[in-house]
Amino acid sequence: MTADSSTTTTPAEPSGVAPAVSVRGVYKVFGPKPGEAVRRLQAGATRDEVKSLGTAAVIDASFDVAPGEIFVVMGLSGSGKSTLIRMLNGLWAPSAGDVLLGDANLAKVDGKQLRALRRSRVSMVFQHFALLPHRTVLDNAAYPLEIQGIGRSERQEKAREALELVGLGGWADSLPSQLSGGMRQRVGLARALAADTDVLLMDEAFSALDPLIRSEMQEQLLELQEKLGKTIVFITHDLNEAMHLGDRIAVMRDGRIVQIGTAEQILSDPANDYVEKFVADVDRSRVLTASSVMQRPRVTVTISGGPRLAAREMREAEVSGAYVVDRKRTLKGLVRADDAVRAAKEGVEKLEGVVDPDVTAVHRDTPLAELFAPAAESAVPLAVVDDEGRLVGVVPRVTLLEAMVPADNGDAAADAGTGIPAPADDEPAGTTEGASA
Amino acid sequence: MIAAATDTGTLVPRINVGDWVDTFIDWMTDTFDPFFDAVKTFFESIYDGLAWALSTPPFFVVALVLAALAFWVRGWKLGVGTLLGFVLIAGMDQWDNAMESLALVIVASVVALLLGIPLGIWAARNEHVSRVVRPILDFMQTMPAFVYLIPTVVIFLTGPVPGIIATVVFAIAPGVRFTELGIRQVDGEVVEAGRAFGSTDRRILRQIQIPLAMPTIMAGINQVIMLALSMVVISGMVGAGGLGDDVVAALQRVDVALGFEAGLAVVILAIFLDRVTSALADRAPVAKALKATR
């Protein structure tokens, strides 16, 4: 429990724009004496010490969510994440602290104003879809608009648009019970989108779906987000989902937020043992990208340099091959040391003839999971390129394997790695930066 | 030992619960006489009107209308069955009695539901109400049915009204219970969705809780009607009229033939009412929507 002293609620990253959602020192205690429990917690009592006064579901939560951001709250069941998200639209009132939706403080509004805020500012997607079984898909999607008091034809039109967005245009007249789980949740999503609020709360929205459908829905959400730019607060117990979707992630444990950061920050720099243990199980290959594990090539050869220069540089760097770039560092291909030497002996002036243009290059944002197949086929470290096709780094196979092992086991793995002699061709393609400048 | 157990008088003084209730009822009769008169007139006129409407037309017109209702809610089998059943009732010379009983059941059930369903809704939304209502319902359901007849006779004398009142008291419990249960069973997440999109509590009740609880509420309505029918027969003891009168008369005269004919008419009415109300339950939008699943 003393480990909790390292628990820091990092304030949100500073940004110029006003936050869409702002949570300030929020507590939620269920039980007979919430006020007293909050006072003791604020004075430093632990969750167990205030048990007799009530169950502390959320303790001192503070964070800002920027407009257009996907903010994921991640934690196991009982960590308080569901309670936290329900305070963002006033389904629960905080025991202490402030919840701001834009300029409106949910802690300070009456019932009528709260309902008005829910209609205009914030909508929600539920774990088990929460559709009205006796209404058609269209009428379900139109439900928030109905509550907003919008006329029948207008709300049906808007609901239809929302259904088109989620790819259910043809199902408007079906009943929810006629749809599969994934489709039902799309209706739930369409309903939230039809409400046309800036903030979207998603409570374990994909957790009830089977894995294939779930990742399909994740992709669809990201696609929609690209188009719509909503502010999304997403609750999940699945770290892989959190890391895949979240611009930033808050990790919750026993009611407290133990770390807020990007997926890579949390993975590479866990705030405490708990987070570290938690992320040990994460599928690192889906979170880490090529750019986070790539190295500088030991040698690159400029295409204008000629075979003789290329051969000399490779000999000096003791590699058997090197990537060839032009003056802008655009990747042109691969040259092998023996080819370059042979061309130099034969007096070939231009390097073009000996360059093998058929190389596998991966984009810098490619997840590691997608690097294994090309890495296995490639005799040389994988080339990593940016949007313009410029060579930004290489990923040797050994590095790729090392990256898959969590930090605390890293040393052992590295030792084992050096013990295995790498195949000769796997060493190569490195070089001096000099060649490119 | 046996003697000691029987002779409780030495251990426990006589507790005159019966006298107290009797005094209470007397006091009520004296104090609220004008009110009870008004109640009596009110129920009597409704019952008379309904009984008149059911027994004045030729029997085959009413039988055809009821058969058509059965056909409409369920299908041709129930329609034909209903027609045959009512023809049999008429053939046994129990037609007028059956229509009187039907009128009693309808009036008592409607009153029981008008009181019971709102009470059930209230109990579902308020823990205190629920805690008070539950033991009262237990009491009302387990008290031997004809005990209710005694005070109602004291207050309303004989005739259909004490029968109706006793029937309402006896039959109201499932109306309250099933309504409370149905509303409590509505998926909390769906109610939460209503709130999350800014709906008022009243609107959530109307658009979410009642429609989703409807299949359960309908089962309660079915129970209320069946209990009402059984009580209507018992209330023949206070001369409420209908099939109950013949059943009681047959009992007193040990007339097997008459008793069986009146009893069979009750069974036919019961089957008709049960099938029609459960068919109506299946027609609730939520029940239909769930049936659409394949």
Q: Is B206 on the interface with A (CB under 8 A)?
A: no
Nearest-Cα distance to chain A for B22, in Å, is 45
pLDDT bin (cut points 50, 70, 90) of residue A417 is very low
Q: What is the pLDDT of residues A68-95, one digit of tens each?
A: 999 999 988 888 999 999 999 999 999 9
How many beta carbons lie within 10 A of that of residue B209, not counting itself? 23
Nearest to B196 among A89, A132, A178 (CB): A89
Q: Is A2 on the interface with B (CB under 8 A)?
A: no
How many beta carbons lie within 10 A of that of residue A85, not counting itself? 20
Nearest to B197 among A118, A127, A128 (CB): A118
Q: Is B198 on the interface with A (CB under 8 A)?
A: yes
Annotate chain A with three-state secondary structure.
CHHHHHCCCCCCCCCCCCCCEEEEEEEEEECCCHHHHHHHHHCCCCCCCCHHHCEEEEEEEEEEECCCCEEEEECCCCCCHHHHHHHCCCCCCCCEEEEEECCEEHHHCCHHHHHHHHHHCEEEECCCCCCCCCCCHHHHHCHHHHHCCCCHHHHHHHHHHHHHHCCCHHHCCCCHHHCCHHHHHHHHHHHHHHCCCCEEEEECCCCCCCHHHHHHHHHHHHHHHHHHCCEEEEEECCHHHHHHHCCEEEEEECCEEEEEECHHHHHHCCCCHHHHHHHHCCCHHHHCEHHHHCECCCEEEEHHHCHHHHHHHHHHHCCCEEEEECCCCEEEEEEEHHHHHHHHHCCCCCCHHHCECCCCEEECCCEHHHCHHHHHHCCCCEEEECCCCEEEEEECHHHHHHHCCCHHHHHHHHHHHHHCCCCHHHCCCCECHHHCC
- Indicate whether B178 pLDDT > 60: yes
Q: Where are the alpha helices (DSSP H) in chain B?
A: 2-6, 17-31, 33-55, 59-73, 76-91, 95-125, 127-142, 149-156, 160-185, 188-196, 201-204, 210-234, 243-253, 256-282, 285-291
Cβ distance A124 to B193 less than 8 Å, yes or no, reads yes
Q: In percent, how much of chain B has pLDDT > 70?
A: 96
Question: What backbone torsions phi and psi does residue A397 show, to the nearest 5 degrees?
Answer: -60, -40
Cβ distance B198 to A115 less than 8 Å, yes or no, reads yes
User: Which residues is A233 bridged to in the sheet?
Assistant: A71, A201
Per-residue pLDDT averaged across A411-435, rounded? 39
Please name the residue of chain A whose CA is at the shortest distance from the CA of residue B195. A91
- The residue with greater pLDDT, A366 or A188, is A188
- Contact list in A for residue B288 (CB cut-off 8 A) is 134
Please name the residue of chain A whose CA is at the shortest distance from the CA of residue B203. A147
pLDDT bin (cut points 50, 70, 90) of residue A400 is confident
Question: What backbone torsions phi and psi does residue B74 show, to the nearest 5 degrees?
Answer: -125, -50
- Indicate whether A416 pLDDT > 50: no
The confidence score (pLDDT) of residue B8 equals: 61
Nearest-Cα distance to chain B for A116, in Å, is 6
Q: Considering only CA atoms, which of A377, A373, A380, A374 is closest in space to residue A396? A: A380
Q: What is the pLDDT of residues B204-254, one digit of tens each?
A: 999 999 999 999 999 999 999 999 999 888 888 888 888 988 888 888 898
| CATH classification (class only), B19-56+92-179+218-293 | mainly alpha
ipTM for the whole complex = 0.76
Q: Considering only CA atoms, which of A294, A347, A358, A289 is closest in space to residue A323? A: A358
The confidence score (pLDDT) of residue B1 equals: 45
- Indicate whether A371 pLDDT > 80: yes
Give chain B's length: 294
Residue B189 burial (10 A CB sphere; 0-12, 13-18, 19+): middle
> What region does A330 belong to: left with phi over 0, alpha with psi -120 to 50, or beta?
beta
Q: Is B192 on the interface with A (CB under 8 A)?
A: yes
Q: Considering only CA atoms, which of A250, A225, A255 is closest in space to residue A239? A: A250
The confidence score (pLDDT) of residue A325 equals: 87
- The residue with greater pLDDT, B158 or A10, is B158
- Candidates A82, A129, A132: best to mutate against B (most CBs of B within 10 A) is A132
Nearest to B293 among A129, A130, A177 (CB): A177
User: What is the sign of the dihedral through the CA atoms of A376, A377, A379 and A381?
Assistant: negative
Q: Which residue has the tokens 């890579």?
A: A264
Q: Considering only CA atoms, which of A91, A104, A26 is closest in space to residue A63? A: A26
Cβ distance B289 to A176 less than 8 Å, yes or no, reads yes
- Please tell me the distance from the alpha carbon of residue A427 to that of residue A409, in angstroms, as a whole number: 24
Interface of A with B in 162-201 (CB under 8 A): 175-178, 191, 195, 201
Question: What backbone torsions phi and psi does residue A64 show, to the nearest 5 degrees?
Answer: -115, 145
- Please tell me the distance from the alpha carbon of residue A107 to that of residue A91, in angstroms, as a whole number: 11
Interface of B with A in 208-237 (CB under 8 A): 208, 211-212
How many beta carbons lie within 10 A of that of residue A185, not counting itself? 27
